Copies of this chain bind each other. A is one copy, B any other.
Amino acid sequence: MTEVVIEITGLTKSFGQLEVLRGIDLTVTRGQVVCVIGPSGSGKSTLLRCVNLLEEPNSGSVVVNGVELNDPDADIDAARTRIGMVFQSFNLFAHQNVLNNLTLAQRKVLKRDRAKAQEVALANLERVGLSEKVNAMPGELSGGQQQRAAIARALSMDPDVMLFDEPTSALDPELVGEVLSVMRQLATEGMTMLVVTHEMQFAREVADTVLFMDAGVVVEQGPATQVIGNPRQERTKSFLHRVLNPVHVDEK
């Protein structure tokens, strides 16, 4: 049962002179939840975006579901339908209501007919607790609702793996919970997930593996209890001290 879903080897990525990723190796197996933490600018988003090739890696390989994405002959669009992506800024299609947001790609890419697409969409809206917002426009929803709709949109494509890039960072504090609990539920259902987050409580409770990144490399990696609860690296310790104990960062 340790089927590999994502396999990243020697991944590097630069923007011009700036080396953002400097050799990342990472394996995610089916059903695993991996959380990536680390300071701003350390390359967490870039790593995630390389996994569905929104950024093209400079070198190294990214294999998802056995498809080497970095190969120019790979059918990238087909591969992407199997990879759900959730962005910090939701990115619901602004000109379509919630239902159409969920059915558009199903119909145009998976070629599902309207009825089938709507059935899938409604089931997934149910899953994230948004059944009553089927006909709302994105602008009429709260941030938390928009993010849950975005999750449902990704789920409607029946992905093998879900990528989350700080899905709660743009939310008011009281709206964070509704999104995190949907994510926790997904994990419980056995979804394979790669999550960039600053929510330490979530990482601690839900993640099978936590990855601490800094300056484009993985500094520390292991079970949540170890990386968050008892970090070995100095950089990890000082980061966690800053984030977990902000009122007293000056002491120490």
Contacts and interface: CB of A to CB of B under 8 A. Distances in A.
Interface in A144-173: 168, 172-173
A202 B246 CA distance: 8
Contact of A201 (B172, B176, B247): B247
Interface in A105-135: none
A174 interface: yes
A225 to B, nearest CB: 16
A177 B39 contact: no
A250 interface: yes
Contact of A249 (B178, B239, B243, B248): B178
Contact of A174 (B39, B175, B205, B250): B39
Contact of A181 (B39, B206, B249): B249
Size class of the A contact interface (CB-based, 8 Å): 20 to 34
A242 interface: yes
A173 B40 CA distance: 9
A245 B177 contact: yes
Interface of A is mostly: helix
Contact of A40 (B174, B199, B248): B174
Given A206-B247, A247-B205, A198 B173 contact: yes
A206 B248 CA distance: 11
Contacts of A250: 177-178, 181, 185
A22 interface: no
A243 B201 contact: no
A141 to B, nearest CB: 14
Interface of A: 39-40, 168, 172-178, 180-181, 184-185, 198-199, 201-202, 205-206, 239, 242-243, 245-250
List of 7 A-B pairs having minimum Cβ-Cβ separation, nearest first: A177-B249, A177-B246, A181-B250, A40-B172, A173-B198, A176-B246, A174-B242
